[in-house]
């Protein structure tokens, strides 16, 4: 069951009222070369300018992005092509990232190929080192840029470091 590291950029705090603007995904494996990037048209008139600014896009640019149904269908197909069996969703902030991916899959595709659960990378690290006051971000190699593929890659690098250097027992097959 391969882990798929995901990162989401949005124009507000919740799906439905606000929009997922872009997301990136990467199969967690040593080479980190299987990636997906999606840019999605807004689904609502509402947006928070400061939230949108984090993504590096303005509202006008996002209006030219692809139809969300097409992007989510492409992502589903990419997951099928790149994951043998069930794929596992993991992210830096799964409370945020998961809610958007799950909502968009159910709303636009009818089902979520990740199922009904996700894993939080930060919580995994805290358990590994037995300290709830630390974070894993120093384990990233790729700079955190708010490009969701870069951010997913950095988080995948951190997970690989936990596995290879900190003896986290995890199967990435």
CATH of the domain at 99: 3.30.420.10
Query: Does residue 170 lie in a domain region?
Result: no
In the numeric block, which tokens belong to residue 128? 């590994």
Query: Does residue 68 lie in a domain region?
Result: yes
- Residue 80: per-residue pLDDT: 96
Query: Does residue 173 lie in a domain region?
Result: no
Measured distance CA(36)–CA(95) in Å, rounded = 21
Q: How far is CA 151 from the centre of its chain?
A: 8
Residues of the chain with pLDDT under 50: none
- Residue 12: per-residue pLDDT: 97
Of 116, 121, 113, 117, which Cα lies nearest the Cα of 168? 121
Torsion angles phi and psi, residue 82, rounded to 5: -110, -5
- Residue 85: per-residue pLDDT: 86
Active site residues: 146
Query: Does residue 123 lie in a domain region?
Result: yes
Query: Does residue 54 lie in a domain region?
Result: yes
Q: How many structural domains is the chain composed of?
A: 1
Instruction: Report whether 92 contacts 158 (CB < 8 A).
Output: no
DSSP string, 44-85: SS---HHHHHHTT--HHHHTTSBPHHHHHHHHHHHHHHH-SS
In the numeric block, which tokens belong to residue 76? 């589903």
Query: Does residue 97 lie in a domain region?
Result: yes
The parent domain of residue 119 ranges over 3-165
- Residue 1: per-residue pLDDT: 81
Torsion angles phi and psi, residue 25, rounded to 5: -140, 150
pTM of the complete model: 0.96
Query: Does residue 139 lie in a domain region?
Result: yes
Beta bridge partners of 40: 66
Instruction: Report whether 87 contacts 114 (CB < 8 A).
Output: yes
Query: Does residue 99 lie in a domain region?
Result: yes
């Amino acid at each position: 069951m391969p882990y798929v590291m995901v990162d989401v950029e949005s124009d507000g705090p919740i799906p439905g009222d606000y929009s997922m603007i872009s997301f990136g995904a990467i199969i967690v494996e040593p080479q980190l070369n299987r990636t997906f990037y999606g840019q999605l048209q807004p689904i609502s008139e509402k947006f928070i300018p400061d939230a949108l600014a984090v993504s590096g896009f303005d509202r006008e640019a996002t209006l030219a992005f692809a139809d969300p149904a097409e992007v989510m269908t492409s992502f589903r197909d990419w997951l099928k092509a790149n994951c043998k069996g069930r794929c596992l969703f993991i992210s830096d902030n799964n409370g945020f990232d998961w809610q958007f991916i799950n909502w968009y899959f159910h709303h636009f595709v009818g089902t979520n190929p990740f199922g009904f659960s996700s894993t939080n990378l930060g919580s995994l690290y805290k358990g590994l080192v037995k300290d709830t006051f630390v974070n894993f971000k120093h384990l990233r190699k790729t700079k955190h840029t708010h490009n969701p593929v870069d951010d997913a890659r950095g988080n995948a690098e951190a997970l690989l470091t936990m596995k290879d250097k900190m003896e986290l027992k995890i199967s990435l097959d």
